[in-house]
Amino acid sequence: MKNQEISKIFYEIAEYLKTERIAFRPYAYSKAALSLETIEEDVSDVYRKGGLKALEEIPGIGKNLALKIEEYLKHGKIKYYDDLKKKLPIKLDEITRVEGMGPKKAKILYEKLKVKNLKDLEKAAKAKKLRGLRGFGEKTEKNIIEGIAFLKRDKGRFLLGEIMPDVKKIISSLKRLKEVDRISTAGSVRRMKETIGDVDILIVSKNPSKVMDFFVSLEGVVKIWSKGTTRSSIRMRKGFDVDLRVVPEKSYGSALQYFTGSKEHNIFTRRTAMDKGLKLNEYGVFKGSKMIAGKTEEEVYKAIGMAWIPPEMRENEGEIELALKNSLPDIIGYNDIKGDLHTHSDWDGGANSIKEMAETARSMGYDYIGIADHTKFLKIEHGLDEKQLLRQRKEIEKLNAELSGFRILQGCEANILNDGLIDIKDEVLKKLDFVIAGVHSSFKMEKEKMTERIIKAMRNPNIDIISHPTGRLIQKRDEYLIDFDKILKAAKETGTILEINSYPERLDLKDFYIRRAKEAGVKMVINTDSHHKDQLKLIEYGISQARRGWAEKKDIINTEPLNRLLKNFRY
């Protein structure tokens, strides 16, 4: 699909333009890039069917950008982009992946030190050559070195949300083969882990060589590591590997159990089987030489004396003990969410109007949506001030009057300032249906101060939800320092709800904290933080994270119908 290629170029153009002093153009490009990345249709098809006009109908794409897309579809390149690259011949996307390294800084480093890529940057920072340059101090230099180390640490792993759409496509093409009798993902993908080393797929087939021929010739395969009748392994263009195994029908359940892992979970299940005088491996459960189970996972778990365990829980965190007592928690299901409370509209520069966001939410079967645009402290995000919020309130009331059986709620995502105060006046916050507050600045505070800052916000009775409570960006930025127990205690006292943000690089709260919140009796909400209507579907990753954190339906407020949901909000 060309969408990803063009989107990547647009993102890069935005970065290049940010090195210059042009106010709005970079923003237009990144908005268009986001739009291309998230729409379902292939732009080539859109263009083939409706030409330039149809391209212009894609949200965020105007005349000028439509022409650039056309140019790429016709000639495989965009001259404007090539010219920008010639002017500044550096690996801008690589360099700006380092937390704290923006495009402007990258340009300065190229001009002063000829830094062209990550390697040059690391060398220069370690040689202490950055300090003293405009905008660089000893601290920035240290942050850059840390940022580079961070990038290296997770090398070779991919964000779940980054590759899941590809995995789904691969599975559905394989499913269409008549030679495929059964198919499932296994490994970390099936456990919905936040990052993935490689993708594992299991198949039952009477004609494995046909399946393997098809598998290694899938669209997007750039390398075939191995090809056999029971196992093949390929690399996809995005850089990740896929392992396909064909297993006998009678062992499908035990193979699935084995290859789903985790390894730690498997070690414990195998030991449990041994304690009962049984043998468990990828071929089945055996009593002596007699196979007593293997066809389905349910019968495998049953044979070793435990309840079937949802894959997201298989991390050897105590789930096996509970399964043995048949007292696993009844974790939230993928269809339990009734509405998304953290979405952005075009009022703060999101890609879609409030109405479009609401229509999409409704088409997903939701009962409500919360519009929670950024507020004024965040100038780069076009944050709304008090007046705009009140105007938006009117628009939402008007839209609601035309709707029945669905409700748009007005919230906002206000900023928790350094001193714990909120950047919007209380009398306006009071008028909204609910208020989200989050930390969007000064991430490097001391633990105690950061904890106090957030707790102070929680004590403001207008604040209902804390967004992405730990601030981490997977593979990019560590969480900020907080005393999570204190945060939980304050949340419990004040009735503040903690968010599970579904954005693939956030997944914040993460599984470990979700379990602690649940144990402390603190309520949570699963939100997407969508800036585009097509991102509403990211909810799947928030739900999987909640499942990994053993959250039940009753722990998550947006599983409740509207009337009950509203009771969670204080004002």
Q: Within 10 Å of residue 117's Cβ, how many Cβ atoms?
A: 12
- Tell me which of Ca ion, ligand DGT, none is bound by residue 261, counting a contact when its beta carbon lies within the kind-specific cut-off of 5 to 8 angstroms: ligand DGT
Q: Which residue is nearest to Ca ion (CB)?
A: 187
- Which is it for the CA torsion 283, 285, 290, 296, positive or negative? negative
- Tell me which of Ca ion, ligand DGT, none is bound by residue 263, counting a contact when its beta carbon lies within the kind-specific cut-off of 5 to 8 angstroms: ligand DGT
Are 471 and 479 in contact by the 8 Å Cβ rule? The answer is: yes
Q: Which residue is nearest to ligand DGT (CB)?
A: 261
Contact with ligand DGT (CB under 6 A): which of 196, 357, 488, 500?
Answer: 196
Give 267 or 274: the residue with its C-beta nearer to ligand DGT.
Answer: 267
Are 435 and 450 in contact by the 8 Å Cβ rule? The answer is: no
262 lies in the site for ligand DGT, by CB under 6 A? yes
311 lies in the site for ligand DGT, by CB under 6 A? no
Give 34 or 242: the residue with its C-beta nearer to ligand DGT.
Answer: 242
251 lies in the site for ligand DGT, by CB under 6 A? no
Give 70 or 198: the residue with its C-beta nearer to ligand DGT.
Answer: 198
CA pair distance 405, 134, nearest whole angstrom = 56
SS3 243: strand
CB of 189 to ligand DGT, least distance (A): 7
- Tokens at residue 198, please? 């490689």
Which helix H or strand E contains 152, and what residues bound it?
helix 138-153
CB of 512 to Ca ion, least distance (A): 21
Contact with ligand DGT (CB under 6 A): which of 100, 102, 197, 220?
Answer: 197
Distances (CA, A) of 343 to 207, 223, 348, 349, 568: 47, 39, 11, 12, 18
Nearest to 147 by CA among 114, 102, 104: 102
- Tell me which of Ca ion, ligand DGT, none is bound by residue 400, counting a contact when its beta carbon lies within the kind-specific cut-off of 5 to 8 angstroms: none
259 lies in the site for ligand DGT, by CB under 6 A? yes
CB of 183 to ligand DGT, least distance (A): 16
Helix then strand then coil, in percent of the chain rounded to 5, is 50, 15, 35
- Tell me which of ligand DGT, Ca ion, none is bound by residue 234, counting a contact when its beta carbon lies within the kind-specific cut-off of 5 to 8 angstroms: none
Q: What is the dihedral of CA 486, 492, 497, 502, to 10 degrees?
A: 50
CB of 197 to ligand DGT, least distance (A): 3
Q: What is the dihedral of CA 393, 30, 502, 436, to 10 degrees?
A: -30
CB of 71 to ligand DGT, least distance (A): 39
The dihedrals phi and psi of 362, each to the nearest 5 degrees, come to -65, -40
343 lies in the site for ligand DGT, by CB under 6 A? no
Q: Using the rule CB under 6 A, give the single segment among 194-202, 295-303, 429-437, 474-482 that binds ligand DGT.
A: 194-202
Give 233 or 496: the residue with its C-beta nearer to ligand DGT.
Answer: 233
**Residues near ligand DGT, by CB under 6 A:** 187-188, 193, 196-198, 200, 258-259, 261-263, 266-267
